[in-house]
Amino acid sequence: LKGISIAIDGPAAAGKSTIAKKIAQKLNYTYIDTGAMYRALTYKAICNDINIKSDHDLSKLLQETDIILKPVNGSQAVWIDGVDRSEEIRSQKVTANVSMVATHANVREMMVGKQRELANGTGVVMDGRDIGTAVLPNAELKIFMTASVEERAVRRFNENESRGIHIPLDQLKREIEKRDQSDSERTVSPLKMADDAVLVDTTSLSVNEVVDKVILLAEERV
């Protein structure tokens, strides 16, 4: 199979990374979770007491930060300055602040540069918010993955519970809505369906149904 680029964008907790991981595994492609990169910078900013409203301060911090995405049995670990921070970047505190970090033009420009490098010359499944619109505008397949906000909150709730994290459902729903609003309303590369993307509503589909659907679309484009 020739290596194509598959871009998967969509709102928070729509199942993008779950699906992207499985597709990458099936096609033997590289999986790149771009949200993890914004989370990594957010984590480091919080640890170092950096003002997340300052593009300048964050860009400087990013320049000094070594973020490595490492493939580990079908998933992706995130190493920051030589330490595995895969767990830490999923904390509530990081989740609550990452959308602010992601609003900044210089931060985004640096991130997009890194993301293009990672995708260069290899079959890739990349998930995020601006992959089809900004990072890989020539991707052979673009998916815009959505689900109702209720369904997304329930999925995040179940995922949390299975990891022993207890957060009320209505709180999760509010947080998801807030993050979607910020991601959709920012000036630089807002969350938006690319004109040539395929809309996949996963509300009433199983993970395997979505995977099969995307694989079929990919095979048409190889």
Binding positions for ATP are 10-18
**What is the closest distance, in whole angstroms, from the C-beta atom of residue 189 to ligand C5P in the complex?**
7
Interatomic CA distance for residues 79 and 57, integer angstroms: 21
Regarding 129 and contact with ligand C5P (CB under 6 A), the answer is yes
| Site track 55-94 with ligand C5P (rule: CB under 6 A), x = hit | ----------------------------------------
Question: Tokens standing for 37?
Answer: 């990169």
Interatomic CA distance for residues 29 and 164, integer angstroms: 31
Using CB under 6 A, pick the residue from 19, 179, 210, 218 that binds ligand C5P: 179
Question: Tokens standing for 76?
Answer: 């992706």
Q: How many helices (H) and strands (E) does the chain have?
A: 8, 8
Regarding 183 and contact with ligand C5P (CB under 6 A), the answer is yes
Interatomic CA distance for residues 77 and 30, integer angstroms: 13
Q: Which residue has the tokens 């995040």?
A: 156
Using CB under 6 A, pick the residue from 128, 136, 152, 172 that binds ligand C5P: 128
Q: Which residue, 161 or 185, is less far from ligand C5P as judged by CB?
A: 185
Regarding 38 and contact with ligand C5P (CB under 6 A), the answer is yes
Length of the chain: 222
Using CB under 6 A, pick the residue from 19, 23, 78, 98 that binds ligand C5P: 98
Contact (CB, 8 A) for 36 and 69 = yes
Regarding 34 and contact with ligand C5P (CB under 6 A), the answer is yes
Q: Which residues touch 49 (CB under 8 Å, ≥6 apart)?
A: none
Task: Return the range that interacts with ligand C5P (CB under 6 A); candidates 43-51, 68-76, 80-88, 125-133.
Answer: 125-133
Interatomic CA distance for residues 74 and 194, integer angstroms: 27
Question: In the complex, which residues of this chain contact ligand C5P (CB under 6 A)?
Answer: 12, 34-35, 38-39, 98-99, 102, 128-131, 179, 183
